[in-house]
């Protein structure tokens, strides 16, 4: 079972003594950080390669944000009557066009060619997909897709997929013939253990006790999801703070294309809870205050209408609201009309949406219009990695929303995020397991672990002992509001510069944060402050990238540079961490068979 580490704290002094050969601290061949769909798929892949794996997750895996996915997952199965001519090539083409040509085409091709296998695999594992009349996996139309290829389970696909993946990890855990698969729920990872250019583990805090421990491993896979909570108006779960992006970023791994933040056209007015694109895929209309289907008035959406890609629909809704053709209140909104779909179709295919509308907005989609507004939804950028999910640091891998492979480029198509988690989760797991096996002996436990642990303990002690200082909650509120207001759907130089300056000021003020509670166990104030430090650095990378990119591409729309500029800007942004904030570099986009064209739907 590899090397075990015994860690004991000298009660009088603030240092940690690491002794080899004890038996308290587990070592795993591979550690997976994050228990969502990408993390669980990665853990299964590691275990299938007969390597031991530990999954460290901030919440119980079934509480991960993957569970909230609604509409579906893309695969060119051709099960829909209009999908007979679909193919992986067409999925790849739609994805590249959807990305506004910023996606790396080798990565897109990898995802598209493996899509059908991954969907069939998870169906074999028991995923309760909805069915066609022939009993095949049902598919529905989605934005930016040439064919109806989004496989669904009513409108709760995330719940169906995540539960199925978790069920499989239980099966693997119980299988006597396999190496260990352990899950550490409610542990927050705060630092990487880095020795030279090699990643050798992580430092994590058990939330229940506040205890800090170092985990040793031969490889680490980050699968911690997006960073939506840097925005006030996000559909993301409260847990999506971006700390999982910040930890590798602090260790010198660049974040890629962070300025590309997806705004979902239809989030519920008020709490910005997601209302699936499937609602429009099934035939829902978007109406302005005059009751017009206004998407017909915009050249980039007049053909596809409600099933144009998300960046375009979000922009056009925002324009309607800004031009006074929306409704006032709560930042402005328009209506989503599902009434004509009828009770039966709504109950069969959109029952989750109906519950959300009833519980959180007091409207019944069967009889009422749904008040919706664009809201932050997805982080296209993330930890820079290649199609093998390898980052620049040996032994460090990334998969899912936290990663930027990049398959989504400047705008993700609906149904592609879940597909990415399944395809690249598996790839990351396999490659990490191979890497560890290739290294032969188990990873060494040594000075680097001790250092990382000590540094993190000092950080926590600093927060817990500071007497007077600012409240973390007020800094978080300012950050989320400035991001929503100034780094939103429409951007321009002055606003972005103001936002960046504000984030930089908040980063300085964070250094003087004092907590309202000094206990160790279940200290939510401490957890929030620790994560806020990461959120601020991620927000800084987003604002810096957005200010620097003087063009409009996909989700990044600059009113002062409204055209796409392939000559200057067909390249990825790489943000490197420094004390003063993100340092930007650029690298080429990997082209492929899909040629550049104007993006119209």
Catalytic residues: 264, 280
How far is it, in rounded angstroms, from Cα 83 to Cα 136? 13
Binding residue (CB under 8 A) for another protein from 516, 568, 583, 600? 516
Closest CA to 235 of 276, 279, 282, 194: 276
- Residues touching another protein, count (CB under 8 A): 66
In order, the DSSP letters of 317-374 are HHHHHHTT-SB-STT-BEEEE-GGGHHHHHHHH-HHHHHHHHHHH---TTTSPEEEEE
User: Considering only 5-13, 234-242, 257-265, 414-422, which stretch makes contact with another protein by CB under 8 A?
Assistant: 234-242
Binding residue (CB under 8 A) for another protein from 5, 112, 188, 239? 239
186's tokens = 């409610």
Task: Give the contact letters, 289-328, x = binds to another protein (CB under 8 A), - = no.
Answer: ----------------------------------------
487's tokens = 């780094």
Residue whose pair of structure tokens reads 């040996």 in the numeric block: 394
Closest CA to 452 of 258, 151, 162, 203: 203
Q: Is 134 in the site for another protein (CB under 8 A)?
A: yes
Nearer to another protein, 207 or 214 (CB): 207
Q: Is 133 in the site for another protein (CB under 8 A)?
A: yes
**Minimal distance in Å, beta carbon 57 to another protein?**
11
Residues 252-271 that bind another protein (CB under 8 A): 270-271
How far is it, in rounded angstroms, from Cα 543 to Cα 532? 16
CA distances for 110 relative to 46, 407, 596, angstroms: 19, 9, 20
Neighbours of 69 (CB within 10 A): 25
Neighbours of 557 (CB within 10 A): 22
Q: Is 241 in the site for another protein (CB under 8 A)?
A: no
Judged by DSSP in three states, 509 sits in: helix
Task: Give all strands of the β-sheet with 255-256 in edge-to-edge order.
Answer: 403-404, 382-384, 255-256, 571-576, 583-588
Binding residue (CB under 8 A) for another protein from 324, 329, 342, 521? 521
Q: Is 273 in the site for another protein (CB under 8 A)?
A: yes
Strand ranges for 171-241 from DSSP E = 181-185, 187-195, 198-206, 212-222
**Minimal distance in Å, beta carbon 184 to another protein?**
13
DSSP alpha helix (H) spans, 175-304? 243-250, 278-281
Count how many Cα atoms sit within 13 Å of the Cα of residue 299 in the half-sphere of its side chain: 3
Q: Is 125 in the site for another protein (CB under 8 A)?
A: yes
Neighbours of 567 (CB within 10 A): 7
**Minimal distance in Å, beta carbon 124 to another protein?**
4
Nearer to another protein, 198 or 368 (CB): 368
**Minimal distance in Å, beta carbon 350 to another protein?**
13
Task: Give the contact letters, 199-218, x = binds to another protein (CB under 8 A), - = no.
Answer: ---------x----------
Q: Is 130 in the site for another protein (CB under 8 A)?
A: yes
Binding residue (CB under 8 A) for another protein from 238, 322, 587, 596? 238
**Minimal distance in Å, beta carbon 154 to another protein?**
8
Binding residue (CB under 8 A) for another protein from 5, 237, 418, 460? 237
Whether the CB-CB separation of 544 and 582 falls below 8 Å is answered with yes
Q: Is 511 in the site for another protein (CB under 8 A)?
A: no
Q: Is 3 in the site for another protein (CB under 8 A)?
A: no
How far is it, in rounded angstroms, from Cα 594 to Cα 211? 51
Whether the CB-CB separation of 219 and 230 falls below 8 Å is answered with no
Nearer to another protein, 270 or 592 (CB): 270
Nearer to another protein, 193 or 274 (CB): 274
**Minimal distance in Å, beta carbon 530 to another protein?**
14
Residues 158-197 that bind another protein (CB under 8 A): 158-160, 163-164, 167-168, 170-171, 173-174
Nearer to another protein, 133 or 467 (CB): 133
Burial of 240 (0-12, 13-18, 19+ CB in 10 A): buried
Nearer to another protein, 305 or 514 (CB): 514
Judged by DSSP in three states, 505 sits in: helix
Binding residue (CB under 8 A) for another protein from 93, 360, 490, 576? 360
Per CB under 8 A, residues contacting another protein are 59-60, 62-65, 67-68, 77, 119-120, 123-126, 128-137, 153-154, 156, 158-160, 163-164, 167-168, 170-171, 173-174, 208, 237-239, 270-271, 273-274, 352, 355-356, 359-362, 471, 473, 515-517, 519-525
């Amino acid at each position: 079972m590899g090397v075990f580490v015994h860690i004991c704290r000298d009660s009088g002094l603030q240092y940690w003594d690491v002794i080899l050969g004890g038996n308290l601290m587990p070592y795993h061949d591979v550690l997976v950080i994050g228990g969502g769909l990408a993390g669980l798929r990665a853990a299964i892949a590691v275990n299938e390669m007969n390597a031991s794996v530990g999954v460290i997750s901030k919440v119980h895996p079934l509480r991960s944000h993957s569970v909230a996915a609604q509409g579906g997952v893309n695969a060119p199965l051709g099960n829909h009557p209009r999908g007979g001519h679909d193919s992986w090539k067409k999925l790849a083409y739609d994805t590249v066009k959807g990305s506004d040509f910023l996606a790396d085409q080798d990565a897109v091709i990898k995802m598209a060619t493996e899509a059908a296998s991954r969907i069939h695999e998870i169906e074999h594992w028991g995923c309760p997909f909805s069915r066609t009349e022939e009993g095949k996996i049902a598919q529905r139309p989605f934005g930016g897709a040439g064919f109806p290829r989004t496989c669904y389970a009513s409108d709760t696909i995330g719940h169906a997929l995540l539960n199925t993946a978790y069920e499989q990890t239980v099966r693997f855990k119980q299988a006597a013939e396999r190496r260990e698969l352990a899950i550490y729920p409610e542990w927050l990872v705060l630092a990487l253990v880095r020795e030279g250019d090699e990643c050798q583990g992580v430092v994590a805090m058990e939330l229940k006790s506040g205890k800090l421990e170092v985990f040793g491993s031969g490889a680490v896979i980050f699968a911690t999801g997006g960073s939506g909570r840097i925005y006030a108006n996000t559909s993301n779960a409260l847990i999506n703070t971006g700390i999982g992006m910040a930890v590798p970023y602090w260790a010198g791994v660049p974040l890629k294309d962070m300025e590309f933040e997806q705004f979902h056209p239809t989030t519920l007015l008020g709490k910005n809870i997601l209302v699936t694109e499937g609602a429009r895929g099934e035939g829902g209309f978007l109406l302005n205050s005059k009751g017009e289907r206004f998407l017909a008035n915009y050249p980039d959406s007049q053909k596809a209408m409600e099933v144009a890609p998300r960046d375009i629909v979000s922009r056009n809704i925002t324009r309607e609201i800004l031009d006074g053709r929306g409704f006032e209140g709560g930042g402005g909104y328009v209506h989503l009309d599902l009434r004509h779909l009828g009770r039966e179709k709504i109950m069969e295919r959109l029952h989750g949406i109906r519950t959300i509308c009833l519980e959180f907005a007091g409207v019944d989609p069967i009889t009422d219009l749904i008040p919706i507004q664009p809201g932050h939804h997805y982080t296209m950028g993330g930890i820079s990695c290649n199609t093998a999910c390898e980052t620049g640091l040996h032994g460090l891998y990334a998969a899912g929303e936290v990663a930027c492979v990049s398959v989504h480029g400047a705008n993700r198509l609906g149904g592609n995020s879940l597909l990415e988690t399944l395809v690249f989760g598996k790839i990351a797991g396999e490659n990490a397991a191979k890497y560890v096996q290739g290294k032969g002996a188990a990873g060494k436990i040594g000075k680097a672990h001790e250092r990382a642990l000590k540094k993190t303990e000092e950080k926590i002690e600093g927060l817990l002992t500071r007497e007077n200082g600012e409240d973390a909650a007020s800094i978080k509120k300012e950050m989320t509001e400035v991001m929503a207001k100034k780094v939103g759907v429409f951007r321009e130089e002055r606003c972005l510069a103001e936002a960046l300056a504000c984030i930089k000021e908040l980063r300085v003020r964070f250094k003087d944060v004092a907590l309202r509670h000094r206990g160790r166990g279940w200290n939510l104030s401490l957890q929030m402050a620790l994560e806020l430090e990461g959120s601020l650095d991620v927000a800084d990378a987003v604002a810096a990238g957005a200010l620097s990119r003087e063009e409009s591409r996909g989700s990044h729309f600059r009113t002062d540079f409204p055209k796409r500029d392939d000559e200057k800007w067909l390249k990825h942004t790489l943000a490197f961490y420094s004390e003063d904030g993100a340092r930007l570099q650029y690298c080429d986009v990997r082209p492929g068979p899909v040629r550049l064209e104007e993006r119209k739907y």
